[in-house]
Structure formats: C-alpha cells, structure tokens
C-alpha cells in the first residue's frame, strides 16, 4: 500500500476517533441514550462497510475480501471483549455517567496495544515464517479454553486491582487499569487471528481500528443482547480453531511440507475462510435467538 494511502487513512481515522473522544469527554456526566447508541453503532458499521467496499475500487478485490474477513472476525471477538467489560464495570460499580469515558480510554489503550502487537507480529513473520505454527497452536488452544469456560463465569479481581484498591485508588482509576490489562489478553487472541487471514499490514491495521470504532456505543446496546447470544462463545471458538488450523497449514507449506504422514496438507483460500466465518456467525446467532425464545 502506498505511503499516501497510509497517511490519508490514518489521518481520517485519527480525526474520527478524536471527535469521538471529544464527545465522550463533553458528555462524561451524562447517560448514553439507546437512540444515540444505535445511531453511532450504525454509523461506524456503515463506515467500515463503505471503506471495505471502496478497497475493491482503488486497491484490489483481494484487499476488499481480506478486509471484510479480518473486520468481521475482529468485530465478533469484540462482542466477547465487551462482555468482559460489562462484568468489570458492573463488578466495580462504576457510575453510569462515567462508563462512557472509561470505555473510550480503554478502547484507545487497546488500539495502542494492538499497534505494538501488529508491529511485533510483522517483524517475527518477516524473520521466521515458522512462527505461524506457534500462532496457529495458540489459537487452537484458545478455542479449546473458550469451550471449557463456564457460561456463568464471573470476572475476578487480580492482584494488581486488589493492590490499587488497598492504596485507595478511585473506582474510575481501578476500572481503567482493569480494562487496560484485559486488553492485553484480548490482543493475544485477535492479532494472531487476523494474521491467519491476511499478511497485509494496512488491512490488519484498518480492520482492527474499524472493529474497535464504535465499541463504546455498542456497549450500551448489547447488555441485554449478550444474555441471548448463548452460543457466541462456541461460535468464536469454532472460528479461532479454524483460523488456527489454517495458520498451521500455511506454516507447513512455507516449510515445503506438501504432505504429512502421507496426507496432503490442504490449502484454505480466502474465499473459503470468509464464507466459513459468515456461516458460523449467522448459524450461531440464529441458534442462540431460537434457543433464547424457548427458555
């Protein structure tokens, strides 16, 4: 991707995020209404779709497919992340008026952390292609861990949070630290996942940014919805396991291993990956809503 494309894109995204941050600061003592949350969520989703579609016009159709595969995956993982945010803010009893600012600062810290992980991941890939074995194995392990998690698992305070409470830190500061530390764990899942769909740094960065934009407003929409998406964890686990296997297969091909134990190592195309992700998420959502109505 050209330098001008990078500069224009990053400048535009910075302006949008800056405006969003300014609004959060201005409205820091007000509750976010459902109407406002819906409007902003639709705006950011539409912005991502418009950007992804435009890639096929001024870049390549492959770039468009890679962006949508990466954005949909990262956005789906964001739902799981938001569920943890809900638990943290509820457990710490953060005032409703302060939730918006806490969320935005947490999202900005997540962007910075993912930037570091993306840069580090790119450097590792350029020096050692076999790193995909590690990335793939980690995603498969994460998928298995997600399936084993209890549906009613609660967020528990770590030692750092307990230490801050003991030192008299405000609830606002404790909440910021709690969300920032969990963002590190989220980055460990999301960055290897998108590397399994594209190696283009521009696509990786923009897909992550668009997945996180509007997350603050989405938080106020999904509180009740999360209780209905009872199979979300299983769906995300399936997607992570699929991408993990895809990374392992790609790593095998990079080492010249066309067959293992006489079995041909499959090649999973981007179109198959995108289709699989969409089908799993659609099926998971439909089954969850159907099951919720029967309960």
Whether the per-residue pLDDT at 232 is higher than 90: the answer is: no
Q: Is 170 helix (H, G, I), strand (E, B) or coil?
A: coil
Q: Residue 154: what pLDDT?
A: 53
Q: How many helices (H) and strands (E) does the chain have?
A: 11, 2
In the chain, where the domains are located:
3-294
Q: How many residues can be counted in the chain?
A: 295
The partner residues of 259 in beta bridges, in order of sequence, read 264
The model's pLDDT over 115-125, given as tens digits with 9 standing for 90+, comes to 777 777 777 76
Cβ atoms of 107 and 176 closer than 8 Å: no
The model's pLDDT over 164-200, given as tens digits with 9 standing for 90+, comes to 767 677 777 777 777 777 766 666 667 777 777 888 8
With vertex at residue 277, the alpha carbon angle to CA 192 and CA 10, rounded to the nearest 5 degrees, is: 55
- pLDDT band (50, 70, 90) for residue 152: very low
Q: Residue 33: what pLDDT?
A: 72
Give mean pLDDT, residues 77-97: 71
Helix (H) or strand (E) holding 145: helix 131-148
d(CA 179, CA 292): 29
Q: Using alpha carbons, list the distances in angstroms from residue 4 to 1, 7, 202, 220.
A: 8, 5, 12, 36
Which of the listed ranges 149-158, 159-168, 224-233, 283-292 does the model predict with the highest average pLDDT? 283-292
């Amino acid at each position: 991707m050209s330098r001008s494309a990078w500069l224009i894109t990053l400048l535009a995204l910075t302006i949008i995020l800056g405006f969003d941050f300014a609004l959060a600061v201005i409205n820091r003592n007000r509750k976010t209404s459902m109407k406002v949350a819906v409007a902003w969520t639709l705006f950011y989703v539409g912005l991502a779709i418009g950007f992804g579609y435009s890639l096929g016009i001024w870049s390549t159709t492959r770039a468009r497919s890679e962006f949508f595969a990466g954005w949909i995956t990262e956005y789906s993982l964001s739902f799981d992340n938001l569920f943890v945010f809900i638990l943290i803010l509820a457990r710490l009893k953060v005032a409703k008026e302060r939730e918006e600012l806490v969320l935005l600062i947490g999202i900005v810290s997540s962007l910075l952390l993912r930037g570091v992980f993306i840069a580090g991941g790119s450097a590792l890939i350029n020096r050692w292609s076999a790193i995909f074995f590690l990335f793939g194995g980690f995603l498969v392990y994460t998928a298995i861990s997600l399936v084993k998690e209890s549906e009613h698992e609660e967020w528990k305070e770590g030692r750092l949070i307990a230490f801050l409470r003991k030192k008299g830190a405000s609830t606002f500061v404790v909440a910021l630290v709690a969300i920032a530390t969990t963002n590190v764990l989220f980055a460990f899942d999301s960055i290897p996942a998108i590397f399994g769909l594209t190696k283009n740094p521009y696509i990786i960065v923009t897909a992550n940014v668009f997945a996180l934009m509007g997350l603050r407003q989405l938080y106020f929409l999904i509180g009740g919805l999360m209780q209905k998406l009872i199979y979300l964890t299983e769906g995300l686990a399936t997607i992570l396991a699929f991408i993990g296997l895809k990374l392992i297969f790609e790593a095998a091909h990079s080492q010249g291993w066309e067959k293992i134990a006489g079995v041909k190592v499959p090649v999973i195309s981007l179109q198959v990956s995108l289709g699989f992700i969409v089908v799993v998420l659609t099926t998971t959502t439909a089954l969850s809503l159907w099951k919720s109505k029967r309960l």
